[in-house]
């Protein structure tokens, strides 16, 4: 037997012919060739049950039989088995072309003509089995591929509906669940949870630690099985949404929100690390006219500003958000539309009453919104990074102003203008070079410009801040720490940063004339600054008693309504020319601009 024949020796071959002689002849021939599973059948009516019982690999089928023809059997097999019909070789004597064509149309693979040529019979059988094997392998591969595609599609569908880190449902599933609750007419509360502190964990300990943190925190939420949580999912990297099926009430919202805050904000132990995540929660309820998207958005709108707090949605918050968005859009055009200007608040020498410098303060008069407070538009600018553009405009305007004043002889060579520098500006790698270039291009001595930075801005990236400030100080620009004492006050950073000025925050000044504790704190700051050889500027001075105390403590400069509010350029220059030595504050009669 050939190697190819041996390959198919176990093939199940069924010979169907009403002539027993033909059946016997073919069976003997195949068995002599080494085929081990050959069966003969002289009653074609038994063929269907045989195929049902055990599907053969090949049927040798006579075309002309008295009870049922081979063509009829072929048609029956096709109807029953379809694409899985066994391979068929038709056994014929002389048949007409129409019958031959019909057999081929019904799926016959080949023909064996009687009387049989043994060599031809064996070769045609091997060829057919070989073809069937190839087709079977292709079918199996196609079936396997189809199975893999189905499985992969299912996996991708699952992945498309869950967060890759926590495996929690994503926003699509959250919205579907809210939709279903609305269909069921169930009451619900949606909690929009903003996680604070993940960025710090990522920067300090890496992505893996951050992933472990969110997974551990999500497990804590899922353990709150006593709460009616319908779905808990991920809205974005650092925001989650929890939907509770419950009555809509402030009492329920407070109970659930407090539970979420409590479990999230417990310090988390990760191997050798102990991490702490803060949270803010906004809450909204289901109202008939709200869509699922609106329910989640309103919960997001309700997020409080402070950590560890929760807040429910109301229409006033929507109005506030609308105004913020409108102001944000308008602020982009404020520079080109000449809506911005600077005011200048004098810094007065406590000994001589002379104006030694001013702080440049940005103001915005909008044709749409009127005069917009810096307390409102500066945070908006910081949130969308427009503060960098605004800060550059302020610096250029301030530099231009002092160049003009010096040219007019309105100020002396020691007069300085202080500009506030936001954290986002300070974190720009090229900020120092840019600022130095602006000053030098204007032909100003470096000491004419003073840079005010807050402690909190320094803490964003102390190393980068130190590099920037050292570059500025190296060319002679003065560095002031604004709002000193309200943030991360530390002797360690005062020792290494090139600071020239400490500005004592108004929080210590406002009650110092009636509060001995504030007096002690202010006196301590002034004494410390003197040891470091820093100038001290007291902000927010409004009462003559405050001024007298600061004078006695040795404070260098005073800034506040006792002498002047932020002024337009012309008025400010008049005060520079006259000074304050003859004013009631210095003569002891008491006076302020309040």
Instruction: Choose among 243, 353, 342: nearest CA to 299.
Output: 243
Distance of CA 515 to the CA centre of its chain: 47
Tens-digit pLDDT profile for residues 494-508: 777 899 999 998 888
The pLDDT of 409-429, averaged and rounded, is: 93
What's the pLDDT band for 288 if we cut at 50, 70, 90?
low
pLDDT, position 431: 94
Would you say the C-alpha torsion 49, 53, 55, 56 has a positive or negative sign? negative
Q: Look up the CATH superfamily of 343-362+382-587.
A: EAL domain (3.20.20.450)
pLDDT, position 593: 47
What's the pLDDT band for 124 if we cut at 50, 70, 90?
confident
The pLDDT of 328-353, averaged and rounded, is: 94
* Residue 592 clears pLDDT 50, i.e. is over it: no
Top CATH class of 171-313 equals alpha beta
Instruction: Choose among 192, 172, 238: nearest CA to 211.
Output: 238
Question: How far apart are the C-alpha atoms of 580 and 544, rounded to whole Å?
Answer: 13
pLDDT, position 147: 78
So where are the chain's domains?
Answer: 3-140, 171-313, 343-362+382-587
Instruction: Choose among 59, 55, 60, 56: nearest CA to 22.
Output: 60
3 state DSSP class of 489: coil
The pLDDT of 583-592, averaged and rounded, is: 67
| Contact present, 87 and 57 (Cβ < 8 Å) | yes
Q: What percent of the chain has pLDDT over 90?
A: 51
What's the pLDDT band for 82 if we cut at 50, 70, 90?
confident
* Residue 594 clears pLDDT 50, i.e. is over it: no
Please, which residues have CB within 8 angstroms of residue 485's CB and are 6 or more apart in sequence?
504, 505, 507, 508, 521, 525
* Residue 370 clears pLDDT 80, i.e. is over it: yes
Helices (H), ranges, 510-543: 516-532
| Contact present, 497 and 534 (Cβ < 8 Å) | no
Q: Is it true that 3-140 and 343-362+382-587 share their CATH fold?
A: no
Q: Which residue has the higher pLDDT, 357 or 28?
A: 357
What's the pLDDT band for 407 if we cut at 50, 70, 90?
very high
Question: How far apart are the C-alpha atoms of 150 and 156, rounded to whole Å?
Answer: 10
Question: How far apart are the C-alpha atoms of 48 and 30, rounded to whole Å?
Answer: 23
pLDDT, position 471: 94
Please, which residues have CB within 8 angstroms of residue 440's CB and are 6 or more apart in sequence?
none
pLDDT, position 464: 85
Distance of CA 380 to the CA centre of its chain: 20
Predicted TM-score of the model (pTM): 0.61
Question: Of 80-94, 371-385, 398-412, which has the strongest mean pLDDT?
Answer: 398-412
* Residue 6 clears pLDDT 60, i.e. is over it: no
| Contact present, 422 and 382 (Cβ < 8 Å) | yes
Q: What percent of the chain has pLDDT over 70?
A: 95
Question: How far apart are the C-alpha atoms of 486 and 219, rounded to whole Å?
Answer: 37
Average pLDDT, the chain: 88
The pLDDT of 307-323, averaged and rounded, is: 85
* Residue 68 clears pLDDT 50, i.e. is over it: yes
* Residue 139 clears pLDDT 80, i.e. is over it: no
Q: Look up the CATH superfamily of 3-140.
A: Response regulator (3.40.50.2300)
What's the pLDDT band for 441 if we cut at 50, 70, 90?
very high
pLDDT, position 477: 94
pLDDT, position 7: 64
Tens-digit pLDDT profile for residues 562-582: 999 999 999 999 999 999 998
Strand partners, 91: 62, 112
pLDDT, position 553: 95
């Amino acid at each position: 037997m050939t190697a190819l024949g041996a390959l198919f020796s176990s093939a199940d071959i069924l010979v169907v012919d009403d002539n027993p002689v033909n059946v016997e002849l073919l069976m003997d021939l195949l068995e002599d060739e080494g085929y081990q599973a050959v069966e003969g059948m002289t009653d074609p009516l038994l063929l269907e049950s045989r195929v049902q019982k055990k599907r053969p690999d090949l049927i040798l089928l006579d075309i002309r039989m008295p009870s049922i023809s081979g063509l009829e059997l072929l048609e029956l097999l096709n109807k029953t088995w379809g694409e899985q019909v066994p391979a068929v070789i038709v056994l014929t004597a002389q048949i007409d072309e129409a019958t031959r064509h019909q057999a081929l149309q019904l799926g016959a693979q080949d023909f064996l003509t009687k009387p049989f040529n043994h060599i031809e019979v064996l070769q045609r059988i091997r060829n057919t089995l070989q073809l069937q094997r190839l087709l079977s392998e292709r079918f199996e591969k196609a079936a396997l591929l189809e199975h893999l595609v189905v499985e992969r599609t299912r996996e991708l569908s699952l992945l498309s509906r869950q967060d890759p880190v926590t495996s929690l449902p994503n926003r699509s599933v959250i919205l579907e669940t809210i939709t279903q609750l609305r269909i069921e007419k169930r009451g619900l509360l949606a909690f929009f949870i903003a996680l604070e502190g993940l960025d710090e964990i990522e920067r300090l300990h890496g992505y893996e630690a951050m992933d472990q943190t969110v997974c551990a925190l999500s497990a804590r939420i899922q353990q709150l099985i006593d709460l009616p949580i319908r779905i808990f999912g991920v809205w974005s990297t650092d925001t989650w949404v929890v939907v509770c099926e419950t009555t809509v009430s402030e009492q329920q919202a407070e109970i659930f929100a407090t539970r979420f805050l409590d479990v999230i904000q417990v310090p988390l132990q990760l191997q050798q690390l102990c991490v702490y995540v803060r949270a803010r929660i906004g809450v909204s309820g289901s109202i008939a006219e709200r869509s699922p998207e609106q329910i989640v958005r309103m919960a997001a709108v309700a997020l409080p500003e402070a950590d560890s707090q929760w807040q429910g949605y109301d229409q006033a918050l929507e109005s506030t958000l609308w105004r913020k968005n409108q102001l944000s859009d308008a602020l982009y055009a404020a520079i080109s539309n000449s809506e911005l200007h600077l005011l200048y608040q004098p810094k007065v020498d406590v000994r001589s009453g002379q104006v030694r410098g001013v702080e440049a303060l940005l103001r915005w008069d909008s044709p749409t919104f009127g005069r917009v407070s810096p307390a409102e538009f500066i945070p908006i600018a910081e949130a969308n990074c427009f503060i960098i553009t605004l800060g550059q405009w302020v610096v250029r305007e301030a530099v231009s102003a002092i160049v003009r004043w010096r040219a007019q002889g309105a100020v002396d060579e020691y007069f300085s203008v202080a500009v506030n520098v936001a954290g986002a500006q300070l974190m720009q790698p090229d900020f120092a070079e840019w600022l130095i270039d602006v000053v030098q291009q204007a032909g100003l001595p470096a000491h004419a410009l003073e840079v005010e930075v807050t402690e909190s801005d320094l803490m964003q990236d102390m190393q980068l801040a130190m590099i920037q400030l050292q570059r500025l100080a190296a060319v002679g620009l003065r560095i002031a720490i604004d709002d000193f004492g309200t943030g991360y006050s530390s002797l360690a950073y005062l020792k290494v940063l090139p600071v020239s000025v400490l500005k004592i925050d108004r929080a210590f000044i406002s009650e110092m004339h009636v509060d001995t504790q504030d007096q002690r704190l202010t006196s301590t700051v002034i004494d410390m600054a003197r040891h470091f050889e820093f100038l001290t500027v007291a902000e927010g001075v409004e009462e003559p008693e405050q001024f007298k105390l600061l004078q006695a403590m040795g404070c260098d400069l005073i800034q506040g309504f006792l002498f002047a509010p932020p002024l337009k350029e012309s008025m400010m220059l008049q005060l520079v020319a006259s000074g304050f030595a003859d004013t009631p504050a210095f003569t002891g009669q008491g006076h302020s601009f309040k």
